[in-house]
Amino acid sequence: MTQRIEIKEEGRTVCYCDYYTVLDELEIVFIKTEPEYRNRGYATRLMKELMSLCREKDIRFIRLEVRESNAPALGLYGKLGFVPVGRRKNYYTDPREDAILMDLEIKGA
Ligand X SMILES: CC(C)(COP(=O)(O)OP(=O)(O)OC[C@H]1O[C@@H](n2cnc3c(N)ncnc32)[C@H](O)[C@@H]1OP(=O)(O)O)[C@@H](O)C(=O)NCCC(=O)NCCS
Closest approach of ligand X to the CB of residue 92, in Å:
10
Across the beta sheet with 61-67, the strand order is 3-9, 12-22, 25-33, 61-67, 97-105, 83-92
Binding flag, residue 51, ligand X (CB under 6 A): no
Q: Looking at 70, 81, 84, 101, which residue binds ligand X (CB under 6 A)?
A: 70
Question: Would you give the end-to-end CA distance of the chain in angstroms?
Answer: 22
Region binding ligand X by CB under 6 A among candidate stretches 1-9, 51-59, 68-76, 84-92: 68-76
37 has catalytic annotation: no
Helix (H) or strand (E) holding 53: helix 42-56
Binding flag, residue 102, ligand X (CB under 6 A): no
By annotation, the residues acting in catalysis are 65, 77
